[in-house]
A and B are shown apart, each in its own frame.
Chain A
Amino acid sequence: MSQQAVNGVPSRGKVLTVDNMNPNVKRVEYAVRGPIVQRAVQIEKELREGVKKPFTEVIKANIGDAHAMGQKPITFLRQVLALCAYPELMEDNKFPEDAKKRAQRILDACGGHSIGAYSASQGIECVRQDVARYIEKRDGGIPSNPDSIYLSTGASDAIVTMLKLLVCGEGHDRTGVMISIPQYPLYSAALADLGAVQISYYLDEDKCWSLDVAELRRALNAARQHCNPRVLCIINPGNPTGQVQSRQCIEDVIKFAKEEHLFLMADEVYQDNVYAEGCKFHSFKKVLFEMGPEYSSTVEMASFHSTSKCYMGECGFRGGYMEVINMDPEVKAQLIKLVSVRLCPPVPGQALLDLVVNPPQPDEPSYTTFMKERTAVLAALAEKAKLTEEIFNTVPGITCNPVQGAMYTFPRITLPQKAIDKAKEQGQVPDMYYCMRLLEEEGICLVPGSGFGQREGTFHFRMTILPPTEKLKVVLQKIRDFHLRFTQEFS
């Protein structure tokens, strides 16, 4: 179809349009950086241009980015990275010996002793060995084979790669993947992109977002009617919900996966972010092996970790790994082949991961400072988790489950019917309408619960607990005030 362009030069329809592009891509949504964040960025721009607003800054409490909210990097980690980037600094006596030693070991494992060389596609070998040792230490001695470790560009990369391997079949045989509702929307996005079937299982909000095997069974049986369920994904500690699953629950999930012949994907990127008393991180691998060979030699599993969370918060480095358990050797060969096409994960991120799994030891010069910094970060997060839960629970119309772990709160909000109606009039999901209003009136950017999934008729938002404590108190206060105002306005 021919159309006239503005300057009179005739033009035809484009080669690549929304109608002929990859249809799967159109189905992809990622709320954490979706429309509300785009609006937040716009508002920031307006503020810079001097437009008057009811607030002086936009607070981006939408994304689990600790450094952006003022958290400081761990000194030791950055010292080693600087030494790796510019080895001339080995002469500089500002750097402690243990940092230099780590840097030299990493450089010796790089081609041409440079972090600018491609690494092996599975990741630098000695880093994978260090990761395996870390896992063994963490899991009380259960063996980890470095060959089962794949370094990745953040955990997201490995998660997408595994899902890609798992998706096959057509129509009723199409692979179905079980994901929690609420979930971290990388999963729903990846499933949409791959054209896989999303099988939603609901976490129990009344029981602090715990996982219920009966609910897993319900979801699975319903799904068997229209697809071929093959995978079960679980995020522990949870995102956005923050629950830390009990050991019993993890055992039950493993039993369920074995019974129902499902590949288990355990997203454990928040494994150091555990705050609530009585809660403890139990790695899926550890529990699996403690259940004996009937399970440990049969259940196929991949677990994921990252340098973006925990006490490091090094999101920008895109470091991560996955450990694969009981994977068929032919499939492993395919996996290695697949990751080779992208050459290798970023080497600075691999170096960083090496330090995370191989941190300063008690007899080393940097140990005291390292422990001090690590403890301070985790203690601050624990304090903010508690503060957030407390304050939100004082607001009529907001109920907040304990933030047992991770970096977020996912409180339930009561929206007046009039507000729900108004939202629908505007073609907006009600909690998006609520969050947009909050953004425009207070400059606080959250992500509506609809971006993560929630039970019909319920509304939530996800807010990070990352701003510095004093700022967080102000943010919580503002949200409280907004909520009361909003409720009043639509009463």
Chain B
Amino acid sequence: MNHGTALLWKRRALSSLSATRRGLPKEKMTENGVMSRAKVLTIDTINPTVKKVEYAVRGPIVQRAVELERELSQGMKKPFAEVIKANIGDAHAMGQQPITFFRQVLALCSYPELLSDNTFPEDAKSRACRILQSCGGHSMGSYSASQGIDSVRKDVARYIERRDGGVPCDPDDIYLTTGASDGIVTMLKLLVSGEGATRTGVMISIPQYPLYSAALAELGAVQINYYLNEDKCWSMDIPELQRALDEAREYCNPRALCIINPGNPTGQVQSRECIEDVIRFAAKERLFLMADEVYQDNVYADGCQFHSFKKVLFEMGPEYSETVELASFHSTSKCYMGECGFRGGYMEIINMDNEVKAQLTKLVSVRLCPPVPGQALMDLVVNPPQPGEPSYDSFIKERTATLSALAEKAKLTEQVLNTVQGISCNPVQGAMYSFPRITIPEKAVKEATEQGQQPDMFYCMKMLEETGICLVPGSGFGQKDGTYHFRMTILPPTDKLKILLDKVKEFHQKFTQQYS
């Protein structure tokens, strides 16, 4: 018998097999006597890496908070009148106002008939026209190039050059993205390869913003934890990086080092020297550097300054600037704009292999393009009103007001939390969060463990139920064993924040008393 005939016989035989023999699940009788089968897609047949994904910022505690809001709106009585969602870095949700100029331009872009409306300043109109001209059919409704609108990428490059004191930036190295998260996930996807002991390892800080751990879980990459130093205001420590790396080399292939500066959740602003040390380390250990700089305008503490990784890299001379592979990320969601809902962002790629770049360009083309309103918004962020332009004064006024309010709230938060026995809060040097350490009494730790809960989750859940304040437990970000924290945003308006901090203080004292 020839091969073809044998194959044909085999196929016929297979197709006449019962469903069960062909690997389909058995039918079973349910309670009401109806035959049913297990579903195609169950918790046992789902993608296993998806099951490993966690994202605490919108995790179980937030789901409970949403439930409580619903109960409140249905008239249920609670010990509080509202739920305060201090879990997420969403400035507008907490009452921060959008920047007028940005929204004017976005409205003009959405409905260009408004260009004949004299309530809009000339500089807003000219920005809108420029953006529309670079859109297909002069409409924001067209797909853009997959890497992002050309003129926007040019403006981003110019912004970066200005920011970095003239260090050149090539628009071809800029990729606009759907928020910074999109760029980060795309880069990690490119980087992950190998199997078993050669599986890609990625170094991330502990504590970290849990997009990183979630992405690594989903990609099946190896997470390599390096601890930030809480006693030194969450600074990075090269010996600690070395320790983490050397250990990891036993069981994976470390290839990338991620750093968030200013930090999330920790808020530290790394010193220039630290950034140099990290770059040297990455060069020496052959690591791809990923610098998450979405909070670059959110710097509050005296003596702190944002130093972009790119700038420092180039100032270290060609030995580094021509060799170290770096991706840096920015977003329209934070800083003074707070435009989270627009999902605007970009990444700049330094020293990437050309063939890999072609692969990157190909990969992003499958999703067509990032949202055009977000690209337009990014254009305004990097190309804001200039002195002499009609909108300049109000723009600067609004920007300054927002940033100084944040600085004030950063300081207030640190001060108030440090008056609480059992809470110690590092200075909130930058970003939008405080990440104080909390002492949890042994009895509470025990009760939490009995209930199968992380002690700081137990603490935060209690706080939510008793005060309506929603925070995220430190376990959602990572922390040294035996320590507990929570992350709270500094975003509520100052008056509300004061009340919030007092309630947190009160709760902590009560909690400590209750479990003493």
Contact = CB atoms under 8 A, between A and B. Distances in A.
Interface of A: 5, 7, 9, 11-12, 14-18, 20-23, 25-26, 28-30, 32-34, 41, 63, 65-71, 73, 78-79, 81-83, 85-86, 88-89, 92, 94, 110-112, 114-121, 153-154, 156-157, 160, 164-168, 186, 189-190, 193, 217, 221-222, 224-225, 228, 230-231, 260-263, 298, 300, 312-318, 326-328, 330-331, 334, 337-338, 340-349
29 contacts: A9-B318, A15-B325, A16-B191, A26-B359, A28-B366, A63-B143, A66-B141, A85-B373, A88-B119, A89-B114, A111-B92, A114-B92, A114-B341, A116-B91, A119-B341, A121-B58, A154-B367, A166-B47, A316-B142, A316-B144, A316-B371, A328-B42, A334-B50, A338-B50, A338-B53, A341-B53, A341-B214, A342-B179, A343-B181
Contacts of B43: 328, 330-331, 334
B286 interface: yes
B351 interface: yes
B81 interface: no
B136 interface: yes
Contact of A331 (B42, B94, B103, B370): B42
B98 A168 contact: no
Interface in B228-270: 255-256
The interface centre, meaning the residue of A65, A79, A85, A165 with most chain B CB atoms within 10 A of its CB, is A85
B319 interface: yes
B178 interface: yes
A326 to B, nearest CB: 7
A160 B182 CA distance: 14
B324 to A, nearest CB: 9
A334 B371 contact: no
A333 to B, nearest CB: 9
Contacts of B42: 328, 330-331
Nearest to A220: B15
B368 interface: yes
Contacts of A34: 362, 365
Contact of A337 (B54, B193, B341): B54
Given A15-B255, A164-B50, A71 B137 contact: yes
Given A16-B353, A300-B40, A328-B41, A347 B342 contact: yes
B37 interface: yes
Interface string B314-325: 000011001101
A17 B358 CA distance: 11
Interface string B429-449: 000000000000000000000
A312 B215 CA distance: 34
Interface of B: 11, 14-15, 19, 22-25, 36-37, 39-43, 45-48, 50-51, 53-55, 57-59, 66, 88, 90-96, 98, 103-104, 106-108, 110-111, 113-114, 117, 119, 135-137, 139-146, 178-179, 181-182, 185, 189-194, 211, 214-215, 218, 255-256, 286-288, 318-319, 322-323, 325, 337-343, 351-353, 355-356, 359, 362-363, 365-374
Contacts of B23: 224, 228
Nearest to B120: A86
Contact of B141 (A154, A316, A346): A316
The interface centre, meaning the residue of A83, A115, A157, A222 with most chain B CB atoms within 10 A of its CB, is A115
A261 to B, nearest CB: 5
Nearest to A157: B367
Given A16-B288, A25-B363, A86-B107, 12 more contacts: A18-B356, A21-B359, A28-B362, A65-B143, A85-B107, A116-B92, A118-B340, A224-B22, A261-B37, A316-B142, A318-B369, A327-B39
B11 A221 contact: yes
Given A82-B114, A116-B92, A167 B47 contact: yes
